[in-house]
Amino acid sequence: MEYKNIIVDFEEGISIITINRPKSLNALNIETLNELECALYQLKVDNRTQVLIITGAGEKAFVAGADITTFPTLTPDGAREFVDLGQRVMDTIESFPVPVIAAVNGYALGGGTELAIACDMIYASDNAFFGLPEVTLGIIPGFGGTQRLQRLIGRHLAKELVFTGEKIDAYKAKEIGLVNNVFPQAELMTRVKEIARMIMKRGPLAIRAAKRSMVFGMDHDLRTANEIEKLCFITLFGTEDQKEGARAFLEKRPPQFKGK
Ligand code: DAK
């Protein structure tokens, strides 16, 4: 499918989705969210992606939020449609079968921060800013931001960001555990691809199982979550990769995983 607002690239197991509306700092409108949903579905069905990277076009913004130009005329029905779509996209990213990395190359505000925190890991360029400025517009975060952020950085810090609407820079974001690491902007994609390739050297079925266990376990109490982990763990013992991983260790050679 041809996209107008996103670019989808594939190189050796790594898929890259670039939000491509640089004139409006990659703001998310309905069309872009629809395209994102469609691309995620296609990548999932295609099944060749081992790591997915999401980034923004240009050097200024990852995503500067939901598209504010659509707000003035939005009715409650329209808002529900928008928020249903946005939350569906974030949930699809969160439960995407392989790791999803946000390469935050500039402003990640409102829906931009919400998109980043739906990903499994976040790497930021040194010019990146994060924040949930929705209250400055008389609204609240609607793509899961009030919920995911407090699970990620704790209630008090999350409430400070949501209630003040203030932006924080990449270094502060790293200090509070929102971001995995900060790189110079020119190096961001290279460094993120290095991390993706490191993940791709590991057992692909183990990576999928680890993600499934961590994402679905997160919503449950510890005992139930450990049961989810147990099921994911046991399943791997019926795979060729598990036998290969153990044999390779004992034979002192690198494993040759096949994803079987
Ligand atoms: N939407 C539309 N256009 C945007 C935009 C946005 N979010 N952010 C920037 N732009 C546009 C600007 O209007 C400008 O367009 P032109 O004037 O050139 O036509 C162009 O991008 C460049 O922006 P600036 O000229 O403002 O650039 P600066 O470097 O001066 O400032 C900035 C960069 C990122 C600090 C600033 O642009 C800014 O504050 N942007 C808005 C950030 C923001 O408040 N984002 C929205 C957060 S609210 C909902 C569900 C979820 C949500 C909403 C509703 N429903 C249930 C309905 C989520 C809401 C949000 O994300």
Q: Residue 213 maps to which CATH number? A: 1.10.12.10
User: What is the value of pTM for the model shown?
Assistant: 0.97
Binding site membership of 143 for ligand 1 (Cβ less than 6 Å): yes
Q: Which whole-number Å values give the CA distances from 21 to 110, 157, 241, in the listed order?
A: 16, 31, 41
Residue 107 lies in a domain: yes
Tens digit of each residue's pLDDT, the chain (260 residues): 789 999 999 999 999 999 999 999 999 999 999 999 999 999 999 999 999 999 999 999 999 999 999 888 889 999 999 999 999 999 999 999 999 999 999 999 999 999 999 999 999 999 999 999 999 999 999 999 999 999 999 999 999 999 999 999 999 999 999 999 999 999 999 999 999 999 999 999 999 999 999 999 999 999 999 999 999 999 999 999 999 999 999 999 999 999 99
Q: Are both 213 and 156 inside the same structural domain?
A: no
Tokens (6 digits) for 58: 């240009």
- The three-point CA angle 23-24-26 to 5° equals 100
Residue 105: closest CA among 192, 14, 195: 192
Structural domains of the chain, count: 2
CATH number, domain with residue 141: 3.90.226.10
Write phi, then psi, for 2 (nearest 5 degrees): -85, 135
182 and 65, same structural domain? yes
| Residue 110 beta carbon below 6 angstroms from any ligand 1 atom | yes
Ligand 1 centroid to 21 CA: how many Å? 12
Of 158, 182, 200, which residue is a domain's last?
200
Residue 86 and residue 140 in contact, taking contact as beta carbons nearer than 8 Å: no
Within-domain flag for 163: yes
Q: Are 45 and 132 in a shared domain?
A: yes
* Cβ pair 46, 38 in contact under 8 A: no
**123-150: b or e for each residue (b if 16 or more CB lie within 10 Å)?**
bbbebbbbbbbbeeeeeebbbbbbebbb
- 89 shares its domain with 29: yes
What local confidence, expressed as pLDDT, does residue 69 receive? Answer: 94
Residues 117 and 235 in one domain: no
Q: Are strands 121-125 and 100-104 parallel, antiparallel or unpaired?
A: parallel
Residue 11 falls within a domain, yes or no?
Answer: yes
Residue 115 lies in a domain: yes
Tokens representing 74 are: 């939005």
Q: b/e map of 26-43 (b: 16 or more CB within 10 Å)?
A: bbbbeebbebbbebbeeb
- In the reported structure, the alpha carbon of residue 84 is separated from the centroid of ligand 1 by a whole-number distance in angstroms of 20
Write the DSSP string, 187-248: GHHHHHHHHHHHHHHS-HHHHHHHHHHHHHHTTS-HHHHHHHHHHHHHHHTTSHHHHHHHHH
180 lines ligand 1 (CB under 6 A): no
143 CA: nearest ligand 1 atom: 51
Residues 176 and 228 in one domain: no
- Residue 50 within any structural domain of the chain: yes
Domain span holding position 19 = 6-200
Nearest CA to ligand 1 atom 41: 64
Tell me if 144 CB under 6 Å of ligand 1. Answer: no
User: Are residues 146 and 87 part of one domain?
Assistant: yes
CA-only gyration radius of the chain, Å: 19
In the reported structure, the alpha carbon of residue 80 is separated from the centroid of ligand 1 by a whole-number distance in angstroms of: 20
Is residue 89 in some structural domain? Answer: yes
For residue 79, give the ligand 1 atom closest to its CA. 57
Report the relative pairing of strands 51-56 and 6-11 from DSSP bridges. unpaired
Q: Are residues 183 and 238 in the same domain?
A: no
CA dist., res. 90 & res. 221, Å (int): 22
pLDDT at position 70 is 87
Most informative mutation of 68, 90, 132 for ligand 1 (most atoms within 8 A of CB): 68
| Residue 257 resides in a domain | no
Tell me if 141 is assigned to some domain.
yes
Ligand 1 site, residue 82, Cβ cutoff 6 A: yes
Q: Ligand 1 atom closest to Cα of 110?
A: 61
Find the helix or strand (DSSP H, E) in which 84 lies.
helix 76-94
191 and 209, same domain (yes or no): no
Q: If phi over 0 gives left and psi between -120 and 50 gives alpha, with beta otherwise, what is residue 126?
A: alpha
Ligand 1 proximity of 242 Cβ (cutoff 6 Å): no
Residues with active-site annotation: 114, 134
17 and 50 in a single domain? The answer is: yes
Q: Is 130 in the pocket of ligand 1 (CB under 6 A)?
A: no
Cα of 11 from ligand 1 centre, angstroms: 31
Same domain membership, residue 232 and residue 176: no
Q: How far apart are the CA of 98 and the centre of ligand 1, in A?
A: 30
The verdict on 228 and 153 lying in the same domain is: no
Distance 67 CA to ligand 1 centre (A): 6
